[in-house]
């Protein structure tokens, strides 16, 4: 026998929650719809397997739609559309169908590839740490008839950091 007030949960909630999640509802949206605390939604999911499965299926369906949309946006796509005009003096509107085109989106491409092929597309930051950080830059000569010349740089890491300066 558990303490506290009885649960508001009914079996119909599983079906409703699944449909709501398929349309993109969050746990906060579900809590608002069922008039419960946001903390109640994960509790119901843990206590009622049918509710948990409905949440997973609904959220998965919404995620699949977003994934398809991101994919289409990355590649670019076209769709039929209609413009409605109301010419001056006309009694009825004029409907003009046309094909609207969306070009490929570079940001969507990068996002897609970073997530689908992370080993090939992740941002790679190579950090090298050495023990000797001391700089030994000798003489820089200033001459009126010659460009600046660096006599010698003793730290290879510094040369690489400055862009592989030529001597």
Residue-wise pLDDT for 111-148, tens only, equals 989 988 988 888 876 666 666 655 554 444 334 333 33
**CA dihedral for 44, 45, 48, 51, sign (positive or negative):** positive
User: Cα separation of 34 and 127, whole Å?
Assistant: 51
Chain centroid offset of residue 20 CA: 22
In 3D space, the residue among 81, 82, 84, 65 whose CA is nearest the CA of residue 73 turns out to be 65
pLDDT in tens, 60-78: 999 999 999 999 999 999 9
Q: Is 83 helix (H, G, I), strand (E, B) or coil?
A: strand
Q: How confident is the model at residue 25 (pLDDT cuts 50, 70, 90)?
A: very high
For residues 21-30, one letter each, b for 16 or more C-beta atoms within 10 angstroms of the residue's C-beta and e for the rest, the string is bbeebebebb
Beta bridge partners of 82: 97
Asked whether residue 54 carries a pLDDT value surpassing 70, the answer given is yes
User: Cα separation of 43 and 136, whole Å?
Assistant: 64
What is the pTM (predicted TM-score) of this model? 0.58
User: Cα separation of 19 and 58, whole Å?
Assistant: 6
């Amino acid at each position: 026998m558990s303490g506290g007030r009885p649960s508001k949960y009914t079996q119909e909630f599983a079906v409703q929650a699944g449909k709501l999640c398929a349309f993109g509802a969050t746990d906060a949206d579900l809590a608002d719809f069922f008039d419960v605390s946001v903390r109640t939604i994960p509790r119901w999911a843990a206590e009622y397997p049918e509710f948990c499965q409905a949440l997973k299926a609904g959220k998965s369906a919404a995620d699949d739609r977003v994934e398809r949309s991101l994919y289409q946006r990355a590649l670019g796509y076209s769709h039929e559309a209609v413009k409605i005009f109301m010419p001056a003096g006309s009694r009825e509107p004029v409907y003009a169908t046309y094909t609207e085109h969306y070009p490929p989106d570079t940001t969507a491409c990068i996002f897609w590839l970073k997530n689908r092929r992370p080993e090939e597309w992740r941002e790679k930051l190579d950090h090298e740490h050495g023990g000797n950080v001391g700089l030994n830059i000798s003489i820089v000569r200033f001459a009126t008839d010659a460009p600046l010349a660096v006599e010698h740089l003793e730290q290879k890491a510094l040369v690489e950091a400055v862009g592989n300066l030529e001597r």
